[in-house]
Amino acid sequence: MKIELHTHTSEISSCSELPCQKLIELYKQAGYDAVVIANHFNTITENYLAAKGCSEFHKTFHDHITEAYELGKEHGLLVLGAYELRFYENDNDYLVFGMTADQCRNYQEIFAMGIRKFSVFARNNNMLLYQAHPFRNQMTVVNPEYLFGIEIQNTHPRHDSRNEIAKSWAKYHGLHGIAGSDVHQPRDVGTSAIVTDYNVKNSADLVHILQNDLYHIE
């Protein structure tokens, strides 16, 4: 299976120019088997949705993933959800796989945790925590002990993610490496992927292959 781990949709993420329908169509055309929508899970998104008249941030965020999953089935593409989480403490972004809607219902408490406390929460609840594009400008490198891994290949064309540094950092500290296109615009689609022989059917399967390195990066 060819899987995209890092995309954003315009219905939820204010920086995205890609509606969910178009995202799914483009990834199906690009020959992918699955795509993960990891919309920004932070106060910026909360305020963006509030300005659009959505008063229930948590519900709106997760309803979108459910709708995307159903839309993906119509196109023969598995669509899963994840989170690009940002805490109050700085501008770092973290990709979180395996967190459920119930586990982040008190999302303001999540935002206030910071990376140190959240890392404990993630480990205790079988979530996988990766720092996204850790060597991009404005990012703060954190203690590797707080992380399961980092994004070692981020192919967003309008940022320098310094992927070679990220690869070296992951190798030196024994961190698991993942890849993503970090899609915000149509031209970003399909520039990165992980490939696995495992039949991923749901989020639990995705966590399993990531946790056990049952994939390679393309």
pTM attached to this predicted model: 0.97
Q: Which two tokens stand for residue 141?
A: 């490198």
Cα(176)–Cα(216) distance, rounded to whole angstroms?
A: 11
Q: What tens digit of pLDDT does each residue of 139-192 get?
A: 999 999 999 999 999 999 999 999 999 999 999 999 999 999 999 999 999 999
pLDDT value for 7: 98
Partner residues linked to 7 by β-bridges: 37, 183
Q: What tens digit of pLDDT does each residue of 177-218 get?
A: 999 999 999 999 999 999 999 999 999 999 999 999 999 999
**Closest by Cα among 115, 107, 100 to 43:** 107
Rounded to a whole number of angstroms, the CA Rg of the chain reads: 16
Cα(146)–Cα(37) distance, rounded to whole angstroms?
A: 23
What type of residue is 161? Answer: S
